[in-house]
């Protein structure tokens, strides 16, 4: 009896010890995985800062430099809306809220851009974290998502979101809208969360159509799908968001556009643009996952390009499945948003004549949709799938990350991987550095005002706010360019004035101006020409 009892005791002790060892090993493995994700995130943060600094100093273009000039205008006027700015198709008060105050801290414009860009990236990260927590994702998957969010998984995402911040704060606004949408569904601080949600929807649509397309419309479509599931509360909340967003957009359309003389680009009726448009949109979707057209076959870049097609098919199919089969309505919204937004954006590109449509610029419109692949991957990361499903997921994740690292190298040194610099209308990866010799000449000769046909805002930013007046050739004469520029800059005092032009614009300029008004004083290997304006007042009269 005693031997038997003692043996039973030792057996029980051994069982407890084995269980304790198993728990310790599990926790160690979990802690090791968590530590690994933290290390990866920190490495990507460092790489991102390095690339952000490089792009902020070297890869400027007129679209994004216009943001900086408007920010300086707002700083000078100490206002949310600039009376001295020639607005285009919308009121811009997103990035400017970040950049404008920095002009009171830094004297160098490049420091303003670098600091402001890093702040906007932080806002993007925090809004993403809030949304992921609201949708009940785990810490490790959120860490994974933060790492992926700072990787330029396609060139357009890196350029438009990470480094030039063209859509970054709009996406952050949508992340916050989804955050408070989920909080209201969870009955967490319902009244306050509901008030913030309505305010976000209304204010987001006050500045134009962007939040309508990338936030309000997808949320309303999701609400309709929930109505079919007999989930009336989600449907009602989505419709309430739609009403708030519509109210904001109506105020913008019938009030602010007239007040600030904005040019609406949405007057076209929907019209099917043909099979060619479908192919363009299809390849633009693939480009969101780093498929690259026009590159030589063979080699790492080609392999990763075609692998990007597999990433696109996997992500879109998994998002579609989640939108249909996911039982948790919070995960159903977040994981299904990729498929929903891609479909809605693709349809709008095929049927609506949006401004500046081309196979490059479609990427800009699709980026806010493709970014939802990141929360989707976070959701899949948390699932306990079978071995084959895990292998497939980690293969896709490796491809996604690998393409992000390749694109990091591309932005740091475009010569390493030759691919298209898409997302915006400017294609050159030497968009500003090619002016270095010409700018040196301008500074050495103490010019105080300049005229230019192209790269007006980029030149001004690169030269630390130097006044550059935009001009254009139209109907046989020269006139001022009324697009994303300060109005009063035309009244800048100019005693030593120049005009800079490329070869074609120089030919035009020589053919239509009075020879005595100017003389050629500089040209270089980049086919840049600088003319001395001999009589600035007479030249101004010539432009009117």
- From 264, 297, 315, the end of a domain falls on 264
pLDDT in tens, 404-428: 999 999 999 998 998 989 888 788 8
Residue 97 within a domain: yes
Query: Closest by alpha carbon to 179, among 158, 200, 154?
Result: 200
Residue 498 in domain: yes
pLDDT in tens, 511-541: 887 778 899 999 999 899 999 999 998 888 8
Q: What is the mean pLDDT of the chain?
A: 88
In a domain, 463, yes or no: yes
Provide the number of structural domains found in the chain.
2
With respect to residue 238, please indicate whether it lies within any of the assigned structural domains. yes
Q: Which tokens go with 457? A: 């805002």
Task: Please tell me the distance from the alpha carbon of residue 384 to that of residue 125, in angstroms, as a whole number.
Answer: 26
Q: Is the pLDDT of residue 379 over 50?
A: yes
Distance separating alpha carbons of residues 57 and 412, to the nearest angstrom: 11
In a domain, 149, yes or no: no
149 vs 210, residue with greater confidence: 149
Structure confidence by residue, pLDDT tens digits, 350-372: 887 654 445 555 778 899 999 99
CB under 8 Å to 135, separation ≥6 — which residues?
178, 182, 330, 331, 333, 334, 375
Is position 229 within any domain?
A: yes
Which residue range is the domain that position 79 belongs to?
Answer: 59-134+167-264
Digit-coded pLDDT (tens) for 100-119: 999 999 999 999 999 999 99
Q: Which of 264, 289, 316 is the last residue of a domain?
A: 264
Rounded to 5°, the CA angle 271-276-282 comes to: 100
Q: Is residue 236 part of a domain?
A: yes
- Poorest-confidence range of 52-61, 160-169, 225-234, 292-301? 292-301
User: Cα(513)–Cα(507) distance, rounded to whole angstroms?
Assistant: 11
Q: Is residue 533 part of a domain?
A: yes
Distance CA 374, CA 353 (A): 29
pLDDT in tens, 255-307: 877 776 666 555 556 777 778 788 888 988 999 999 998 888 888 999 999 99
Q: Which residue has the higher pLDDT, 232 or 262?
A: 232
pTM reported for the whole predicted model: 0.90
Distances from the Cα of 263 to the Cαs of 81, 408, 483, in angstroms?
16, 36, 10
**What is the pLDDT confidence band of residue 1, given thresholds at 50, 70 and 90?**
very low
**Of 235, 264, 293, which residue sits at a domain end?**
264
Tens of pLDDT, residue by residue over 120-130, are 999 999 999 99
């Amino acid at each position: 009896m005693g031997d038997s009892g003692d043996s039973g005791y030792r057996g029980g002790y051994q069982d407890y010890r084995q269980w304790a060892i198993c728990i310790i090993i599990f926790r160690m493995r979990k802690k090791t995985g968590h530590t690994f994700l933290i290390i990866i995130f920190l490495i990507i943060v460092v790489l991102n800062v390095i690339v952000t600094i490089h792009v902020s100093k070297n890869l400027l273009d007129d679209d994004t430099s216009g943001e900086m000039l408007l920010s300086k205008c707002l700083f000078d006027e100490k206002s949310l809306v600039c009376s001295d700015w020639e607005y285009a198709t919308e009121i811009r008060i997103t990035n400017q809220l970040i950049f404008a105050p920095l002009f009171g801290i830094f004297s160098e414009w490049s420091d303003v851009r670098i600091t402001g860009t890093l702040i906007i990236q932080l806002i993007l990260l925090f809004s993403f974290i809030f949304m992921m927590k609201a949708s009940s994702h785990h810490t490790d998957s959120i860490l994974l998502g933060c790492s992926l969010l700072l990787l330029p998984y396609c060139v357009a995402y890196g350029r438009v979101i990470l480094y030039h911040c063209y859509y970054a704060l709009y996406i952050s606004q949508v992340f916050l809208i989804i955050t408070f949408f989920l909080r209201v569904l969870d009955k967490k601080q319902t009244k306050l969360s509901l008030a913030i949600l309505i305010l976000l929807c209304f204010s987001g649509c006050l500045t134009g159509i962007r939040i309508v397309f990338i936030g309000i419309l997808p949320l309303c479509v999701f609400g309709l799908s929930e109505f079919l599931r007999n989930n009336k509360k989600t449907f009602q909340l989505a419709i309430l968001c739609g009403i708030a967003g519509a109210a904001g957009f109506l105020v913008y359309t019938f009030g602010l556009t007239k007040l600030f003389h904005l040019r609406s680009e949405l007057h076209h009726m929907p019209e099917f643009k043909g099979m060619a448009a479908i192919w363009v949109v299809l390849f633009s979707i693939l480009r969101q996952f780093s498929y690259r057209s026009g590159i030589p076959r063979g080699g790492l870049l080609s392999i990763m390009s075609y692998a990007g097609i597999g990433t696109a098919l996997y992500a879109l199919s998994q998002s579609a499945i989640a939108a249909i089969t996911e039982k948790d309505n919070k995960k159903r919204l977040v994981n299904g948003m990729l498929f929903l937004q891609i479909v809605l954006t693709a349809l709008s590109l095929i049927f609506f004549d949006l401004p500046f449509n081309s196979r490059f610029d479609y990427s800009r419109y699709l980026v806010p949709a493709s970014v939802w692949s990141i929360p989707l991957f976070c959701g899949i990361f948390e699932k306990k799938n079978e071995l084959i499903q895990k292998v497939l997921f980690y293969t896709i994740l490796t491809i996604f990350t690998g393409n992000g690292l390749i694109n990091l190298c591309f932005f740091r040194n475009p010569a390493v991987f030759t691919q298209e610099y898409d997302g915006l209308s400017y294609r050159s990866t030497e968009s500003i550095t090619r002016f270095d010799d010409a700018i040196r000449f301008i500074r050495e000769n103490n010019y105080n005002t300049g005229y230019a046909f192209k790269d007006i805002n980029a030149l001004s930013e690169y030269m630390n706010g130097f006044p550059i007046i935009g001009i254009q050739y139209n109907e046989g004469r020269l006139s001022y360019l009324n697009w994303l520029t300060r109005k009063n800059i035309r009244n800048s005092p100019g005693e030593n004035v120049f005009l800079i032009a490329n070869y074609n614009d120089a030919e035009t300029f020589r053919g239509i101006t009075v020879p005595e008004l100017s003389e050629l004083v500089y040209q270089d290997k980049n086919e840049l020409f600088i003319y001395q304006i001999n009589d600035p007042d007479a030249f101004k009269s010539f432009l009117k």
